[in-house]
A = this chain, B = another copy of it.
Amino acid sequence: MTDQPLIEHLAVIGVGLIGGSAARALKKANAVGRITGVGRSQPRLAKALKLGVVDDTSSDMAAAVRDADVVLIAVPMGIYAAVFKAIAGSLPAHAIITDAGSTKQHAIREARRFLSDPNRFVPAHPIAGAEHSGVEASNAELFCNHLCLLTPDENADPEAVAKIAAMWAACGCRVEKMCADEHDDFLAAVSHLPHVVAYALVNAVNKEGNERHDPFRFAAGGFRDFTRIASSSPSMWRDIVLCNRRSILAKLDGLEAELGALRQAINDGDGERIADMFTSAKQARDAWLQRRGKGA
Protein backbone atom coordinates (compact mmCIF):
# COMPACT_ATOMS: atom_id res chain seq x y z
CA MET A 1 0.00 0.00 0.00
CA THR A 2 2.99 2.29 0.25
CA ASP A 3 2.79 2.81 -3.50
CA GLN A 4 -0.68 4.27 -3.40
CA PRO A 5 -0.55 7.97 -4.13
CA LEU A 6 -2.19 10.53 -1.86
CA ILE A 7 -4.77 11.20 -4.57
CA GLU A 8 -5.84 8.54 -7.05
CA HIS A 9 -7.63 10.79 -9.56
CA LEU A 10 -7.39 14.56 -9.44
CA ALA A 11 -9.55 16.83 -11.58
CA VAL A 12 -8.08 20.32 -12.02
CA ILE A 13 -10.69 22.81 -13.17
CA GLY A 14 -8.83 25.71 -14.75
CA VAL A 15 -5.38 24.74 -16.00
CA GLY A 16 -3.65 28.10 -15.81
CA LEU A 17 -0.64 29.21 -13.77
CA ILE A 18 -2.06 28.01 -10.44
CA GLY A 19 -3.86 24.85 -11.55
CA GLY A 20 -0.96 23.90 -13.81
CA SER A 21 1.66 24.51 -11.13
CA ALA A 22 -0.28 22.44 -8.58
CA ALA A 23 -0.58 19.60 -11.12
CA ARG A 24 3.14 19.71 -11.87
CA ALA A 25 4.08 19.82 -8.19
CA LEU A 26 1.82 16.89 -7.28
CA LYS A 27 3.18 14.78 -10.14
CA LYS A 28 6.72 15.60 -9.12
CA ALA A 29 5.93 14.54 -5.55
CA ASN A 30 4.33 11.31 -6.81
CA ALA A 31 1.28 12.37 -4.87
CA VAL A 32 -1.26 11.75 -7.62
CA GLY A 33 -2.26 8.81 -9.87
CA ARG A 34 -3.95 10.58 -12.72
CA ILE A 35 -4.78 14.21 -13.45
CA THR A 36 -7.62 15.37 -15.65
CA GLY A 37 -7.35 18.94 -16.85
CA VAL A 38 -10.73 20.62 -17.20
CA GLY A 39 -11.56 23.88 -18.91
CA ARG A 40 -13.43 25.71 -21.60
CA SER A 41 -10.47 26.52 -23.83
CA GLN A 42 -9.57 23.60 -26.09
CA PRO A 43 -6.17 25.07 -27.14
CA ARG A 44 -5.22 25.64 -23.51
CA LEU A 45 -6.15 22.06 -22.57
CA ALA A 46 -4.19 20.75 -25.58
CA LYS A 47 -1.18 22.75 -24.43
CA ALA A 48 -1.45 21.42 -20.88
CA LEU A 49 -1.61 17.88 -22.25
CA LYS A 50 1.33 18.45 -24.57
CA LEU A 51 3.40 19.91 -21.73
CA GLY A 52 2.65 16.80 -19.66
CA VAL A 53 0.98 18.89 -16.96
CA VAL A 54 -2.15 16.70 -17.10
CA ASP A 55 -2.79 13.12 -18.24
CA ASP A 56 -6.07 13.72 -20.01
CA THR A 57 -8.44 16.60 -20.59
CA SER A 58 -12.11 17.38 -20.70
CA SER A 59 -14.24 20.39 -21.49
CA ASP A 60 -17.22 18.83 -19.75
CA MET A 61 -16.94 19.71 -16.07
CA ALA A 62 -19.74 17.40 -14.93
CA ALA A 63 -18.30 14.38 -16.73
CA ALA A 64 -14.75 15.14 -15.66
CA VAL A 65 -15.44 15.04 -11.91
CA ARG A 66 -17.60 11.90 -12.05
CA ASP A 67 -14.81 9.62 -10.82
CA ALA A 68 -12.53 12.19 -9.26
CA ASP A 69 -11.22 11.73 -5.72
CA VAL A 70 -10.17 15.34 -5.40
CA VAL A 71 -11.32 18.34 -7.42
CA LEU A 72 -9.14 21.45 -7.46
CA ILE A 73 -10.96 24.60 -8.57
CA ALA A 74 -8.41 27.04 -9.97
CA VAL A 75 -10.54 29.56 -11.84
CA PRO A 76 -11.23 33.30 -11.36
CA MET A 77 -13.54 34.04 -8.41
CA GLY A 78 -16.20 35.36 -10.78
CA ILE A 79 -17.04 31.91 -12.16
CA TYR A 80 -17.08 29.94 -8.90
CA ALA A 81 -20.87 29.82 -8.94
CA ALA A 82 -20.92 28.43 -12.47
CA VAL A 83 -18.30 25.81 -11.61
CA PHE A 84 -19.97 24.62 -8.40
CA LYS A 85 -23.31 24.50 -10.21
CA ALA A 86 -21.84 22.48 -13.07
CA ILE A 87 -20.12 19.86 -10.92
CA ALA A 88 -22.56 19.59 -7.98
CA GLY A 89 -24.79 16.94 -9.53
CA SER A 90 -22.03 14.54 -10.60
CA LEU A 91 -19.55 14.63 -7.72
CA PRO A 92 -19.02 11.19 -6.19
CA ALA A 93 -19.94 11.07 -2.50
CA HIS A 94 -16.34 10.52 -1.43
CA ALA A 95 -14.88 13.36 -3.50
CA ILE A 96 -13.17 16.26 -1.77
CA ILE A 97 -13.18 19.72 -3.31
CA THR A 98 -10.61 22.45 -2.76
CA ASP A 99 -9.77 25.70 -4.50
CA ALA A 100 -6.99 28.26 -4.79
CA GLY A 101 -8.91 31.54 -4.81
CA SER A 102 -7.92 34.80 -3.17
CA THR A 103 -11.12 35.37 -1.18
CA LYS A 104 -12.47 32.61 1.01
CA GLN A 105 -15.85 33.71 2.38
CA HIS A 106 -17.16 33.97 -1.15
CA ALA A 107 -15.85 30.49 -2.01
CA ILE A 108 -17.58 29.04 1.05
CA ARG A 109 -20.84 30.84 0.26
CA GLU A 110 -20.90 29.42 -3.28
CA ALA A 111 -20.01 25.93 -2.07
CA ARG A 112 -22.89 26.03 0.42
CA ARG A 113 -25.23 27.29 -2.26
CA PHE A 114 -24.60 24.47 -4.68
CA LEU A 115 -22.94 21.42 -3.12
CA SER A 116 -25.06 18.71 -1.53
CA ASP A 117 -22.27 18.19 1.02
CA PRO A 118 -20.45 21.50 1.47
CA ASN A 119 -18.52 19.98 4.38
CA ARG A 120 -16.35 18.21 1.82
CA PHE A 121 -15.21 21.57 0.43
CA VAL A 122 -11.89 22.65 1.95
CA PRO A 123 -11.17 26.25 0.92
CA ALA A 124 -7.50 26.98 0.29
CA HIS A 125 -5.37 29.94 -0.71
CA PRO A 126 -1.81 29.22 -1.70
CA ILE A 127 -0.21 32.67 -1.52
CA ALA A 128 2.08 32.57 -4.52
CA GLY A 129 2.90 35.32 -6.94
CA ALA A 130 1.23 35.32 -10.29
CA GLU A 131 3.10 37.87 -12.36
CA HIS A 132 2.66 35.81 -15.51
CA SER A 133 -0.36 33.71 -16.29
CA GLY A 134 -1.28 30.63 -18.27
CA VAL A 135 -0.17 27.02 -18.18
CA GLU A 136 3.02 27.97 -20.06
CA ALA A 137 4.16 29.85 -16.96
CA SER A 138 3.29 27.01 -14.58
CA ASN A 139 6.07 25.27 -12.72
CA ALA A 140 6.41 22.64 -10.03
CA GLU A 141 8.25 25.02 -7.70
CA LEU A 142 5.74 27.89 -7.71
CA PHE A 143 4.44 27.06 -4.24
CA CYS A 144 7.72 26.04 -2.61
CA ASN A 145 7.85 27.49 0.88
CA HIS A 146 4.85 29.66 0.24
CA LEU A 147 2.10 29.86 2.80
CA CYS A 148 -1.13 28.03 1.95
CA LEU A 149 -4.04 29.09 4.15
CA LEU A 150 -6.88 26.62 4.66
CA THR A 151 -10.13 28.16 5.88
CA PRO A 152 -12.52 25.28 6.59
CA ASP A 153 -15.43 26.08 8.89
CA GLU A 154 -16.28 24.15 12.04
CA ASN A 155 -18.46 21.68 10.11
CA ALA A 156 -15.82 20.64 7.60
CA ASP A 157 -15.02 16.94 7.39
CA PRO A 158 -11.75 16.44 9.32
CA GLU A 159 -10.52 13.74 6.94
CA ALA A 160 -11.18 16.00 3.97
CA VAL A 161 -9.26 18.80 5.68
CA ALA A 162 -6.36 16.47 6.44
CA LYS A 163 -6.21 15.23 2.86
CA ILE A 164 -6.24 18.73 1.39
CA ALA A 165 -3.61 19.87 3.90
CA ALA A 166 -1.46 16.96 2.74
CA MET A 167 -2.10 17.86 -0.90
CA TRP A 168 -0.94 21.46 -0.54
CA ALA A 169 1.99 20.33 1.59
CA ALA A 170 2.94 17.96 -1.24
CA CYS A 171 2.91 21.04 -3.52
CA GLY A 172 5.61 22.51 -1.28
CA CYS A 173 3.42 24.85 0.76
CA ARG A 174 3.61 25.63 4.46
CA VAL A 175 -0.01 24.87 5.31
CA GLU A 176 -1.87 26.75 8.05
CA LYS A 177 -5.49 27.05 9.06
CA MET A 178 -7.35 30.23 9.82
CA CYS A 179 -10.88 31.63 9.78
CA ALA A 180 -12.21 32.64 6.39
CA ASP A 181 -13.24 36.09 7.60
CA GLU A 182 -9.82 36.75 9.10
CA HIS A 183 -8.22 35.52 5.89
CA ASP A 184 -10.27 37.92 3.80
CA ASP A 185 -9.52 40.76 6.17
CA PHE A 186 -5.75 40.29 6.20
CA LEU A 187 -5.52 39.64 2.49
CA ALA A 188 -7.55 42.80 1.86
CA ALA A 189 -4.80 44.71 3.68
CA VAL A 190 -1.67 43.14 2.20
CA SER A 191 -2.89 42.20 -1.27
CA HIS A 192 -6.25 43.54 -2.42
CA LEU A 193 -5.76 47.12 -1.22
CA PRO A 194 -2.27 47.44 -2.77
CA HIS A 195 -3.71 46.33 -6.10
CA VAL A 196 -6.52 48.89 -5.89
CA VAL A 197 -4.04 51.63 -4.97
CA ALA A 198 -1.58 50.69 -7.73
CA TYR A 199 -4.32 50.80 -10.36
CA ALA A 200 -5.57 54.14 -8.98
CA LEU A 201 -2.10 55.68 -8.93
CA VAL A 202 -1.33 54.69 -12.52
CA ASN A 203 -4.64 56.23 -13.61
CA ALA A 204 -3.84 59.40 -11.67
CA VAL A 205 -0.39 59.66 -13.27
CA ASN A 206 -1.85 58.97 -16.69
CA LYS A 207 -4.07 62.04 -16.33
CA GLU A 208 -1.04 64.26 -15.62
CA GLY A 209 0.10 64.19 -19.24
CA ASN A 210 0.03 67.38 -21.27
CA GLU A 211 0.85 68.31 -24.86
CA ARG A 212 4.56 68.61 -24.09
CA HIS A 213 5.22 65.86 -21.58
CA ASP A 214 4.41 62.21 -20.96
CA PRO A 215 4.64 61.83 -17.17
CA PHE A 216 5.68 58.17 -17.42
CA ARG A 217 8.92 59.29 -19.10
CA PHE A 218 10.12 60.58 -15.73
CA ALA A 219 9.38 57.36 -13.91
CA ALA A 220 12.18 55.04 -12.84
CA GLY A 221 12.67 51.77 -10.99
CA GLY A 222 10.76 52.78 -7.87
CA PHE A 223 7.66 53.56 -9.90
CA ARG A 224 8.04 50.39 -11.95
CA ASP A 225 8.08 48.19 -8.84
CA PHE A 226 5.40 50.15 -7.02
CA THR A 227 3.04 49.75 -9.96
CA ARG A 228 3.98 46.23 -11.06
CA ILE A 229 0.73 44.82 -9.68
CA ALA A 230 -1.20 47.32 -11.83
CA SER A 231 -0.24 45.09 -14.76
CA SER A 232 -2.24 42.23 -13.20
CA SER A 233 -5.32 40.85 -14.92
CA PRO A 234 -8.14 43.44 -14.61
CA SER A 235 -10.91 40.83 -14.78
CA MET A 236 -9.30 38.57 -12.18
CA TRP A 237 -8.87 41.51 -9.83
CA ARG A 238 -12.34 42.88 -10.51
CA ASP A 239 -13.65 39.50 -9.34
CA ILE A 240 -11.50 39.50 -6.21
CA VAL A 241 -12.54 43.04 -5.33
CA LEU A 242 -16.22 42.26 -5.84
CA CYS A 243 -15.90 39.19 -3.61
CA ASN A 244 -14.29 41.10 -0.74
CA ARG A 245 -15.88 44.52 -0.88
CA ARG A 246 -16.48 45.15 2.79
CA SER A 247 -12.94 44.31 3.91
CA ILE A 248 -11.34 46.26 1.06
CA LEU A 249 -13.43 49.35 1.84
CA ALA A 250 -12.41 49.07 5.50
CA LYS A 251 -8.73 48.84 4.55
CA LEU A 252 -9.16 51.78 2.23
CA ASP A 253 -10.46 53.73 5.23
CA GLY A 254 -7.32 52.80 7.14
CA LEU A 255 -5.08 53.92 4.31
CA GLU A 256 -6.99 57.16 3.89
CA ALA A 257 -6.49 57.87 7.58
CA GLU A 258 -2.72 57.38 7.20
CA LEU A 259 -2.67 59.52 4.07
CA GLY A 260 -4.72 62.16 5.86
CA ALA A 261 -2.22 62.28 8.73
CA LEU A 262 0.66 62.57 6.26
CA ARG A 263 -1.20 65.21 4.28
CA GLN A 264 -1.65 67.25 7.44
CA ALA A 265 2.03 66.95 8.33
CA ILE A 266 3.10 67.89 4.80
CA ASN A 267 0.70 70.83 4.79
CA ASP A 268 2.09 71.97 8.15
CA GLY A 269 5.68 71.49 6.99
CA ASP A 270 6.11 69.31 10.07
CA GLY A 271 9.33 67.52 9.19
CA GLU A 272 9.60 65.73 12.49
CA ARG A 273 6.18 64.15 12.13
CA ILE A 274 6.83 63.21 8.49
CA ALA A 275 10.14 61.60 9.43
CA ASP A 276 8.47 59.72 12.30
CA MET A 277 5.85 58.25 9.99
CA PHE A 278 8.38 57.36 7.31
CA THR A 279 10.67 55.80 9.92
CA SER A 280 7.96 53.64 11.47
CA ALA A 281 7.02 52.35 8.01
CA LYS A 282 10.63 51.62 7.08
CA GLN A 283 11.21 49.84 10.39
CA ALA A 284 8.08 47.72 9.99
CA ARG A 285 8.97 46.76 6.44
CA ASP A 286 12.65 46.09 7.13
CA ALA A 287 11.71 43.96 10.15
CA TRP A 288 9.30 41.98 7.97
CA LEU A 289 11.99 41.38 5.36
CA GLN A 290 14.37 40.26 8.07
CA ARG A 291 11.80 37.84 9.49
CA ARG A 292 11.26 36.63 5.96
CA GLY A 293 14.99 36.11 5.66
CA LYS A 294 15.31 37.77 2.29
CA GLY A 295 16.74 40.93 0.81
CA ALA A 296 14.63 43.72 -0.63
Contact = CB atoms under 8 A, between A and B. Distances in A.
A286 interface: yes
A88 interface: no
A214 to B, nearest CB: 8
A198 B213 contact: no
- Which interface class (under 10, 10 to 19, 20 to 34, 35 or more) fits A? 35 or more
Contact of A218 (B129, B149, B208, B231): B149
A167 interface: no
Contact of A254 (B129, B193, B204): B204
A284 to B, nearest CB: 4
Given A147-B217, A220-B129, A198 B274 contact: no
A112 interface: no
Contacts of A232: 222, 282
A280 B230 CA distance: 10
Interface in A197-225: 197-208, 213, 215-225
Given A227-B285, A230-B282, 13 more contacts: A129-B221, A185-B208, A189-B204, A197-B226, A203-B280, A206-B280, A216-B284, A225-B228, A231-B296, A238-B275, A239-B271, A242-B274, A256-B256
